[in-house]
Structure 1
Amino acid sequence: MAKVDVIKAQVSVTDRRRRSKSIERKRVAAYCRISTDSEDQLNSYRSQVQYHTDKISENVDWMMAGIYADEAITGTQVAKREGFQKMINDCMSGQIDMVITKSISRFARNTLDTLKYVRMLKEKDIAVFFEDENINTLSMDGELLLVVLSAVAQQEVENISSNVKKGLAMKMSRGEIVGFAGALGYDYDPETKSISVNEEEAKIVQYIFKRYIEGMGAHVIARELEQMGALTNRGNKSWYDSTVLGIIKNEKYKGDLLQGKTFTVDPITKRRLGNLGEVDQYLMKDHHEPIISEEMWEQAQTILKRRTVVHENSNVDPNSYREQYSRKFAFSCMVKCGFCGASLTRRSWHSGSKYHKNIWLCISSSKYGKRNCPESKGIAEEYNGSVFKTKI
């Protein structure tokens, strides 16, 4: 059997990758981040910048490649951190050889993001050095330790989020206003946390409820408000159906305050959903001066429920349909199908061409298929008008 001589390894994988490179001094960049704009945090931010500037300057083997920073930015979402994104782009374009940062939590509080960017930079032979944890990502055992500590940083975020939620819930249960988003017709004083009526804006709110109870739909009211030159809560001249309906549904206008209408699903993605009973809500009756009476508000809600029939769990009954009541058009909800009894809906055919015309179709047939009302036919809008004039 032939003799086998073992040739000992003399260089690392990293050295192999860098064999073609000649780097006398490493171009080192530092990344700093604070998550709030409080005075203590701003002092911490300035301290981080000064510390890393001095550290890079004192090392004779390093040269400054820049200080990248994000102020008052959460570490859970990398996409919103402009300083971080610029640093990664400069790394990928070959302007940086090494990144130093105070800790994993400063770099990212999301395990997936941490690993994603560390691996991306590792492919370019760019090290990330976390000082508090003493981890160099180019070392063979660095990633395993990084995974564990990144998970700890993410768990810390989730624990903080849970504690914040509990604190906010306690405040709301005590009757404190939390995160008041503003409402047309009311002024909010953040110092006293009090709500007062804005008389000029209140007139717009009263007009909306009055017209809605008189039978006007949200689309018609929105057009009327635009013609009047009324401004929305944000100062916009454009009004939309959803804006009008949002006011109709808002309990603040009868003097009540409901808190906890939305909730955060995940502290990492920051995704929020409307609260449909998943978490507690807090209702304060007669909290502030009302703009409309309780009776008027209840009338509006009754009309709203009648106009929008939503089946349980938002699943449409195949034997029924979802009706939208409005007065967007002259014959809206006034013309019924003679075969199945469903409302006729207005559709435009050949829009934008010389053959354009408006047609009224059975909603059962047009929305759920011809098989639901096989005998129905489209009716030209001018025919509806001529019949109406004949009846008059």
Structure 2
Amino acid sequence: MSKKVKTIEPVRQKVLKELRPKKKVCAYCRVSTDSTKQHTSYVAQTEYYQQYIQSREDWEYAGIFADEAKTATKVKSRDEFLRMIKECEKGNIDMIITKSVTRFARNTVDSIETIRKLKALGVAVYFEKENINTMSEQSEQMLTILSSIAQGESESISTNSRWGIQKRFQDGSYNIGCVAYGYTKDENGELIIKEDEAEIVRRIFNEYLNGKGSYLIAKGLNSDNIPTIRNGEKWNDTVIKEILQNPIYEGELLLQKTYTTEGVPFTKKRNKGELPMYSIKENHPPIITQQQAERVREIYAYRRIQMGVDDSGKYQNRYEFSSKIICKECGGTFRRQKIYIGKPYEKIQWCCITHIENSKQCQMKAVREDIIKNAYLTMWNKLVSNYSEILYPLLESLRNLRMSKEQEEQIFELNNKITELTEQSHILSRVVQKGYIDSAIFMEKQTALNIQIEEYKKRRNALLDGNGFEKEIEGTNKLLQLIRYNPVIMEEYQEELFIHTVDKVIVGKDGDITFQLINNLELTEAITKG
């Protein structure tokens, strides 16, 4: 007995075409270098796709997304690419046109994952050179092959380049491109001392050996208007530390201090023992003695232990006020200082960095840490005592501000359509259960209804997501939750509570401290000295 087979036709594209009369089409362009020639290519691609899309009557121009001078091996490094994907998620794009698979991505995993994600959203990607539309049945297999070839090319080029560099490391013929401060190259490419810069290097080492820290050394160089490395804005403690730790100044050339990972995506990392390093002793004239360099390393290691810095260079005990205190006068951040060191009345204070460097540019005075803590304690207790009069009305106002009347009407209309279609879906289910409609026809109609519901929900969510105040609403809810769990008046300052409730502390010279909370609410307390 022959079986009766009925084909259930695909309805997704048909329904979407009815809901969206014109297909929203964008283009993605990318060039991989900063050269003038490639820049011209970048401009040409942008103009070409804009004209191409606008020439089609059945297409609606959805913009050009173009990343210039970005690598294709890592999707995360391409801002415009990521913005394009977000627009697809919001339902603002139906199709992406791009030149070729290699312009889209050279990382096979990223490429295939992105295409699958877009297919699930109903978004097609068309590759002009390969003539592939990702909505076709054979597209994924072909794309996998092409993306793998593109990735293989990138890895092969990288491997060949790495092998050549490694070979030059091993035989000592590697010619460094970027010369360290204090040195230049002669006509043969050999390192020679640049005396004016070498004097500054000697000054840095001598001052460090005499007890100065890297921050004070940098401050002194800036005060004396010493030209910076590669015309930087000013000297800073990070640059000073790098100079103090660089063995090049004792005549040693250390190669492969950093390396690039082998597989895509290529990532540059500091070599911490993963690969061999190559040391060339007495490679060039030293600026400092080996004894000076050794002594600096001993002092540097000792100070790291004293400051509680781990092997990764991060502070193990970061202060809760670090990077949070802002100067109301100049906008600079405050730095932690100790005063009356060794005295019974030793105190910790925080002072504006701009004021420390130049008191004429900012006249803000330092403020003691205990005063900031007392001000926070007072502010928090006031908030706890009056939160129902402050936070609940604020939350209601934020919710009302989220959308305009027009947006409310659009959302109301979309909700009605979703409700209506959902009811139709339920009726259809009851009809098929009673046998009044063929199952194949039911599936076709049910699929069409589901696609329409999905489309209207996408439009509604896009309206809701674009209305802002998410941080303010989320922060206010979090503050209310914290107060519910800690409804009592605090007698002592709690570091953990401060970290979870405050974004910034703004210090004014008129005797006030403003706490900007996690919901952007600002509450001000007068400074009271104890």
Task: Give TM-score scaled by structure 1 length.
Answer: 0.64
Q: Between Structure 1 and Structure 2, which shows a larger proportion of helix residues?
A: 2
- Which of 8, 12, 15 in structure 1 is aligned with 2:13? 15
Residues 304 and 49 (structure 1), Cα distance of their counterparts in 2 relative to 1, 3 Å cut? closer
* Alignment map for 1:160-309 (pairs within 5 Å): 160-172=157-169, 173=171, 175-180=173-178, 182-187=179-184, 195=191, 197-218=193-214, 221-222=217-218, 224-225=220-221, 228=224, 230=226, 232-233=228-229, 235-237=232-234, 239-240=236-237, 242-265=238-261, 267-301=263-297, 303-304=299-300
2:100 maps to 1:103: yes
Kept in 2: contact 1:17–1:125 (CA 8 A): no
* Alignment map for 1:325-364 (pairs within 5 Å): 352-353=369-370
- Cα deviations across residues 88-129 of structure 1 (Å, max 9, x unaligned)? 344445554322222222111223432343234324422101
Letter of the 1:352 partner, please give it: E
Residues 291 and 46 (structure 1), Cα distance of their counterparts in 2 relative to 1, 3 Å cut? same
2:118 maps to 1:121: yes
How far is the alpha carbon of 1:73 from its aligned partner? Answer: 1.4
Identity %: 37
2:85 maps to 1:88: yes
Kept in 2: contact 1:29–1:64 (CA 8 A): yes
- Which of 147, 152, 160 in structure 2 is aligned with 1:150? 147
Kept in 2: contact 1:232–1:239 (CA 8 A): no
Letter of the 2:180 partner, please give it: A
Q: Distance in 1 between matches of 2:71 and 2:212?
A: 45
Q: Distance in 1 between matches of 2:212 and 2:173?
A: 36
Q: How many residue pairs are counted as aligned between the two chains?
A: 324
Residues 68 and 302 (structure 1), Cα distance of their counterparts in 2 relative to 1, 3 Å cut? closer
Residues 330 and 290 (structure 1), Cα distance of their counterparts in 2 relative to 1, 3 Å cut? farther
Residues 329 and 139 (structure 1), Cα distance of their counterparts in 2 relative to 1, 3 Å cut? same
Kept in 2: contact 1:27–1:64 (CA 8 A): yes
Residues 277 and 7 (structure 1), Cα distance of their counterparts in 2 relative to 1, 3 Å cut? closer
- Cα deviations across residues 303-344 of structure 1 (Å, max 9, x unaligned)? 55676689xxx89xxxxxxxxxxxx98999x9xxxxxxxxxx
- Cα deviations across residues 121-151 of structure 1 (Å, max 9, x unaligned)? 3244221012344332222343344344434
Q: Distance in 1 between matches of 2:54 and 2:214?
A: 64
1:175 is paired with a residue of what secondary structure?
coil
Residues 355 and 305 (structure 1), Cα distance of their counterparts in 2 relative to 1, 3 Å cut? closer
Q: Distance in 1 between matches of 2:371 and 2:16?
A: 69
1:20 is paired with a residue of what secondary structure?
helix
How far is the alpha carbon of 1:67 from its aligned partner? Answer: 4.1
Residues 237 and 35 (structure 1), Cα distance of their counterparts in 2 relative to 1, 3 Å cut? closer
Q: Which has the higher contact order (CA 8 A, sep 6+)?
A: 2
Q: Which residue number in structure 2 is paired with residue 338 of structure 1? A: none
2:369 is paired with a residue of what secondary structure?
coil
Kept in 2: contact 1:161–1:267 (CA 8 A): no
CA-based RMSD: 4.5
Q: Distance in 2 between matches of 1:43 and 1:355?
A: 56
Q: Which residue number in structure 2 is paired with residue 383 of structure 1? A: none
Kept in 1: contact 2:339–2:347 (CA 8 A): no
1:36 is paired with a residue of what secondary structure?
coil
- Cα deviations across residues 175-230 of structure 1 (Å, max 9, x unaligned)? 233442x53334579x9856554444322211222233345554664565566555
Q: Distance in 2 between matches of 1:166 and 1:40?
A: 29
Q: Distance in 1 between matches of 2:154 and 2:255?
A: 24
Letter of the 2:67 partner, please give it: D
Q: Which residue number in structure 2 is paired with residue 137 of structure 1? A: 134
Task: Give TM-score scaled by structure 2 length.
Answer: 0.49
Q: Distance in 2 between matches of 1:20 and 1:153?
A: 38
Letter of the 1:205 partner, please give it: V
Q: Which runs of 5+ in 2 are unaligned?
A: 312-336, 350-367, 374-530
1:18 is paired with a residue of what secondary structure?
helix
Kept in 2: contact 1:185–1:198 (CA 8 A): yes
How far is the alpha carbon of 1:275 from its aligned partner? Answer: 1.7
Q: Distance in 2 between matches of 1:215 and 1:43?
A: 54
How far is the alpha carbon of 1:299 from its aligned partner? Answer: 4.3
Letter of the 1:280 partner, please give it: P
How far is the alpha carbon of 1:75 from its aligned partner? Answer: 0.6
Q: Distance in 1 between matches of 2:61 and 2:276?
A: 52
How far is the alpha carbon of 1:249 from its aligned partner? Answer: 1.8
Residues 262 and 18 (structure 1), Cα distance of their counterparts in 2 relative to 1, 3 Å cut? same
Q: Distance in 2 between matches of 1:277 and 1:210?
A: 30
Letter of the 1:203 partner, please give it: E
Q: Which residue number in structure 1 is paired with residue 461 of structure 2? A: none
Residues 13 and 75 (structure 1), Cα distance of their counterparts in 2 relative to 1, 3 Å cut? farther
Letter of the 2:98 partner, please give it: T
Higher alpha-carbon deviation: 194-203 or 26-35: 194-203
Q: Distance in 1 between matches of 2:277 and 2:162?
A: 12
How far is the alpha carbon of 1:59 from its aligned partner? Answer: 6.0
